[in-house]
Amino acid sequence: EVQLVESGGGLVQPGGSLRLSCAASGFTFSDFQMNWVRQAPGKGLEWVSLINAAGSTTSYADSVKGRFTISRDNAKNSLYLQMDSLRDEDTAVYYCARERQMGYWGQGTLVTVSS
């Protein structure tokens, strides 16, 4: 069974940093692209970032480019999102999702940016 479990969310002040993790199981992690997708409270879904299977190519939404960094450790079956220079508008539930077409999602982790 495919499982994706996010962690690392919490309350952080504007300008601060946070690192999210996504632990994958039930499939060969190193075979799949992975995404981060977020959902602000009461709002719709917004794609944030994607990394290829090898970890050599990344893509970002303009809203996070230069502030967020996606990475992965295939030996640990884990996906990461380093979030720096956080803003109020980054407050959201962050989901990891498997492959570009997002066939599987985790349960999400809440990031709250507030002073």
Partner 1 sequence: DVVMAQSPLSLPVTLGQPASISCKSSQSLVYSDGNTYLNWFQQRPGQSPRRLIYKVSNRDSGVPDRFSGSGSGIDFTLKISRVEAEDVGVYYCMQGTHWPLTFGQGTKLEIK
44/66 with CB nearer partner 1: 44
**Contact call for residue 45 and partner 1 (CB under 8 A):** yes
Distances (CA, A) of 88 to 12, 50, 81, 108: 10, 22, 17, 18
Pick the closer one to partner 1 by CB: 29 or 94.
94
Rounded Cα distance, 15 and 63, in Å: 15
Site string for partner 1, 61-100 (x = CB under 8 A): xx--------------------------------x-x--x
Distance CA 46, CA 62 (A): 11
Sole window of 14-22, 54-62, 66-74, 79-87 interacting with partner 1 (rule: CB under 8 A): 54-62
Residue 94 carries which side chain, given as an amino acid letter?
Y
Rama region for 49: left / alpha / beta (φ>0; ψ in -120 to 50; rest): beta
Residues in the site for partner 1, rule: CB under 8 A? 35, 37, 44-47, 50, 59, 61-62, 95, 97, 100-108
